[in-house]
Structure 1
Amino acid sequence: MTRLSGITPSGRVQLGNYLGAIQRWASQGTADDLYFVSDLHAMTSTHNPAMLRALTGEQLAVLIAAGIPAESVFVQSDLTRELGALSWVLECTCTFGEAARMIQFKEKAKGQAGVRLSLLTYPVLMAADILLQGADEVPVGADQRQHVELARTLAKRFNATYGEVFTVPRAVLPPAGARVRDLADPARKMSKSTRDSAGVVFVLDEPELVRRKIRRAVTDDARSVEYDPRRPGPANLLEILAACAGDTPERVAGDYGSYGALKEGVAEAVVETLRPIRERAGGLLDDPAELERVRKAGAARATQRGEHRLHSALRLVGTGH
């Protein structure tokens, strides 16, 4: 069974990405699971091309450095020819109404001038990502479930209209990961695309910068250290510490008598958790030839995995050879 997961380079990889997903991918993934950097999805709004290229390389390096097998990883845009062809076939299978009622499109396009057409059509590209690789399951949060349902609809419709080509995927909720919130504003989750990075710990941050950000984390006026989800600042620190230690927030809370000590404990745990990832990723980023070799090998494997499905789909719709 093949599971497919993607990460979009809309910003630098941050602690929440690692503790919430990447760490689990590396430790619990199977040989059939696939992971990709979805750089084409980052183009649905204004972007800086040089920054997109740099962030794509960084994310690829972090995935490999985290321990995900190189043979399971690829970059989406390296399959532009295959995805472009399949996306067109699927756009000719999809109705305008199905695309237009995607909730994310409605929310992101609301009140905006000059909305890019790609914001409307990118769920079809996402369907192409899934169907090209023959994914059986796609672990997604609630905000992406509707897009996987569209992929299911298009796979079923194509198979019924032209012939059996595509595996019909299903959305699955990933196992609960660490809930990491912004250190400066624990009311919101930590995000790689936030404009204010004061409360965001990035995976490749230097240790002293990590410590500085955590020392400045928002807490509250209480004198005791205890885990209470109604106290978001301290709860966030305890959840981060527990995720790094493989423990529970309630248990680790008992090790600290003050917020100062707690922050120092969290800082050291985060620095040591990220240290091997930062060092390995840094080595890859400092060796562009090796990173490019890994990337090309991943692209070749991903292309080979989807080649027969694309050729079959093109032949059945009356194009190709």
Structure 2
Amino acid sequence: MKKRVFSGIQPTGNIHIGNYLSAIKHWVASQPEYDNIFCIVDLHAITVPQDPKVLKAKSLELAALLFAAGIDPQQSVLFVQSHISAHSELAWILNCFIPMGWMQRMTQFKEKAGTQREQVSVGLFDYPALMAADILLYNTDEVPVGEDQKQHVELARDVAQRFNSLYGETFVVPRAVIPPSGARIMGLDDPTSKMSKSETNAGHAINLLDSPDEIRSKVMRATTDSLREIRFDENRPGVNNLLTIYEHFSGLSQSEIEAKFDGKGYADLKRELAEVIVEGLRPLQSRYRELTADPTHLNSLLSEGVSKIRPIAEKTLRLVQDRVGLG
């Protein structure tokens, strides 16, 4: 039996090539091997202020991008979190069994709240409980996460074990999986920082929906250094980042790339890199346009995902309600 894997992504900001190369491509490649559940976590998004119209549009945009990138509704489930009310219902029940001390240890809240802890929403503080509900609803075996989210999966494990010890076997105890070191793509404007979809500087990231001219312009303005030799070197973050992007879009090995650009300058590298990215994103962008041109079909794909996954969520929720004496 395939292991069930739950992955969530927020419908905020712009999805860029860093997201694509480090996560989405791996999701697509893993579909034959795992029972994958992909969730657009819009309930998590509203833990900070959002424009309602933008949030709804971004959820559909993200769904179209994921389908366009290769998420196959015949192999995997893709749905919007708020379309299944069991997420919120289970999160409330879990809130009643999670000790306050566990939540206060969550480091990401401290980082996000910063000095504004008295002003941020309760939802931001409670984010890990909702994430635990997301995971536990579906009898999830594995949750691929970065180091920043690993603590939240550990909380879900603790919650599952605590609940099981109190009420008998109810939840599958999930485990966090740190994916194999994929592409770590850095900002074009600051190659010492990871490319981020929350960064507002126009030259920071190449978004999956950027036009060819936008891609060329951003790449040509990318930070390099004052040296001349073009080679992979982590001590030269600007050039190393551009070469890493080239490696993942071209499929060439590092030695082949270094040989290709031997004796050439940064302008040559940037021009060729821009074209490799443009061509690499062309099929995805074409499929995205097809999907968004027919919103009815796109919404039907999401509805199919809900139809497939809702029975699992409702079965888990009913079991939990029965265990604690509700309903």
Match of 2:325 among 291, 314, 318: 318
Equivalences, count? 319
Q: How far apart, in 1, do the equivalents of 2:186 and 2:69 lie? A: 21
Is the CA contact (8 Å cut-off) linking 1:12 and 1:58 kept in structure 2? no
Match in the other structure for 1:10: 12
Match in the other structure for 1:149: 154
Aligned residue type for 2:301: V
CA deviations 1:199-231 (Å, max 9, x no partner) are: 211001111111111111111111121111111
TM-score (norm 2): 0.94
Match in the other structure for 1:210: 215
Q: What's the CA shift for 1:250? A: 4.2
Q: What's the CA shift for 1:10? A: 2.1
Aligned residue type for 1:198: G
| Same amino acid, percent of matched pairs | 44
Match in the other structure for 2:90: 86
Match in the other structure for 2:41: 38
Q: How far apart, in 1, do the equivalents of 2:142 and 2:34 lie? A: 14
Secondary structure of the 1:73 match is: strand
1:280 aligns with 2:287: yes
Secondary structure of the 2:160 match is: helix
Is the CA contact (8 Å cut-off) linking 1:90 and 1:128 kept in structure 2? yes
TM-score (norm 1): 0.96
Secondary structure of the 1:254 match is: helix
Describe how 1:1-321 pairs up with structure 2 within 5 A: 1-29=3-31, 30-70=33-73, 71-79=76-84, 81-112=85-116, 113-256=118-261, 257-320=264-327
Aligned residue type for 2:303: K
Secondary structure of the 2:71 match is: coil
Aligned residue type for 2:278: V
Is the CA contact (8 Å cut-off) linking 2:5 and 2:34 kept in structure 1? no
Q: How far apart, in 2, do the equivalents of 1:179 and 1:31 lie? A: 24
Q: What's the CA shift for 1:51? A: 1.3
Is the CA contact (8 Å cut-off) linking 1:225 and 1:254 kept in structure 2? no
Q: How far apart, in 2, do the equivalents of 1:110 and 1:28 lie? A: 36
Aligned residue type for 2:8: G
Aligned residue type for 2:289: G
Q: How far apart, in 2, do the equivalents of 1:259 and 1:100 lie? A: 48
Is the CA contact (8 Å cut-off) linking 2:203 and 2:222 kept in structure 1? no
Aligned residue type for 2:227: A
Is the CA contact (8 Å cut-off) linking 1:241 and 1:249 kept in structure 2? no
Q: How far apart, in 2, do the equivalents of 1:49 and 1:191 lie? A: 22
Range with greater deviation from structure 2 (111-120 or 143-152): 111-120
Aligned residue type for 1:200: A
Q: How far apart, in 2, do the equivalents of 1:250 and 1:59 lie? A: 35
Q: How far apart, in 1, do the equivalents of 2:22 and 2:169 lie? A: 36
Secondary structure of the 1:93 match is: coil
Is the CA contact (8 Å cut-off) linking 2:132 and 2:152 kept in structure 1? yes
Aligned residue type for 2:12: S
Q: What's the CA shift for 1:31? A: 4.6
Secondary structure of the 1:3 match is: strand
Q: How far apart, in 2, do the equivalents of 1:273 and 1:36 lie? A: 25
Is the CA contact (8 Å cut-off) linking 1:239 and 1:248 kept in structure 2? no
Aligned residue type for 1:315: D
Unaligned regions of 5+ residues in structure 1, if any? none
Secondary structure of the 2:179 match is: coil
Aligned residue type for 2:113: A
Range with greater deviation from structure 2 (243-252 or 190-199): 243-252
Secondary structure of the 1:4 match is: strand
Unaligned regions of 5+ residues in structure 2, if any? none
Q: What's the CA shift for 1:9? A: 1.6
